[in-house]
């Protein structure tokens, strides 16, 4: 193996229920890896900046209605429209920290009752992550945290828990069960109920541990 194939970036995905802390942890991980001198970018899905992303955003805000299958395919299309950029970044050595990916697509849509295999199909062929970090927290805990800070949250742009589609306790419980069905060897679960700094420390260790093992592999396409 030559140097070039050894130097591709890692695709690191953060997954978890709504409000499990993915976004703040991906910021922290980004600064950490930047500090170590790694070329790294932080991405998120849905990417609400594209045309497809705007349709998704309107749907999530209850400003539009779509068939469950149609919105599922839009979420997937939103990843496909970023595929070539994602792949070229990885191949040129940039590590990507991605806040939600195909697993959110399958977990949320199958929690609505769509067929699990049907949900997976449009994801096949996207770059496979090197590491999936699952921020694990019971849905009840998230709900009580959100109620506790509810008054502050209300003033925030996105509103409190329940502000967007899917942010309901019973639904989140189903999503958690779907996530469990997706769990495999590339996943690492972190107790997201721990203090932010402890979660951050564990994520750092896992990313560093993982970055010593992915160096010889090219992107594996097609697995989920």
H-helix segments, the chain = 3-6, 22-35, 51-60, 68-80, 83-91, 102-111, 116-120, 139-148, 150-155, 169-182, 196-211
Rule CB under 6 A: say whether 104 interacts with ligand NYM.
Answer: yes
| Dist. CA 26–CA 12, nearest whole Å | 10
- Residue 119 C-beta: closest distance to ligand NYM, Å: 9
Q: What is the three-class DSSP state of 133?
A: strand
Q: Binding segment for ligand NYM among 28-36, 104-112, 113-121, 211-219 (CB under 6 A)?
A: 104-112
Q: What residues numbered 72-101 form the site for ligand NYM, per CB under 6 A? A: 75, 100
Tokens of 80: 């496909």
Read off the DSSP letter of residue 38.
Answer: -
- Residue 105 C-beta: closest distance to ligand NYM, Å: 3
Q: Which of 183, 73, 75, 89 is nearest to 127 (CA)?
A: 89
Rule CB under 6 A: say whether 166 interacts with ligand NYM.
Answer: yes
Q: Of 16, 21, 46, 122, which lies in the binding site for ligand NYM, with binding defined by CB under 6 A? A: 46
Q: What is the three-class DSSP state of 185?
A: coil
- Residue 108 C-beta: closest distance to ligand NYM, Å: 3
133 vs 211, beta carbon nearer ligand NYM: 133
Rule CB under 6 A: say whether 179 interacts with ligand NYM.
Answer: no
Please state the separation of Cα 45 from the chain's center in Å: 7
Count of residues that bind ligand NYM according to CB under 6 A:
10
Binding stretches for ligand NYM (CB under 6 A) = 18, 45-46, 60, 75, 100, 104-105, 108, 166
């Amino acid at each position: 193996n030559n140097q070039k194939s050894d130097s591709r970036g890692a695709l690191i995905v953060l997954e978890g229920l709504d409000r499990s802390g993915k976004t703040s942890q991906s910021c922290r991980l980004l600064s950490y890896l930047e500090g170590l001198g790694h070329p790294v970018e932080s991405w998120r899905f849905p990417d609400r900046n594209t045309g497809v992303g705007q349709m998704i955003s309107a749907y999530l805000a209850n400003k539009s209605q779509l068939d469950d299958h149609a919105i599922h395919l839009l979420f997937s299309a939103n990843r496909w429209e970023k595929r070539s950029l994602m792949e070229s970044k990885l191949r040129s050595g940039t590590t990507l920290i991605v806040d939600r990916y195909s697993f959110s697509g399958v977990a949320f849509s199958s929690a609505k009752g769509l067929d699990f295999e049907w949900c997976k199909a449009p994801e096949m062929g996207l770059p496979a992550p090197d590491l999936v970090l699952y921020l694990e927290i019971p849905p009840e805990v998230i709900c009580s945290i959100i109620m506790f800070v509810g008054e502050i949250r209300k003033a925030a742009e996105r509103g409190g828990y329940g502000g967007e589609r899917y942010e309901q306790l019973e639904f989140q419980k189903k999503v958690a069960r779907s996530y469990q069905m997706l769990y495999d060897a590339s996943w690492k679960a972190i107790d997201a109920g721990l203090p932010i700094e402890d979660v951050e420390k564990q994520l750092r260790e896992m990313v560093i541990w993982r970055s010593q093992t992915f160096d010889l592999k090219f992107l594996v396409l097609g697995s989920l």
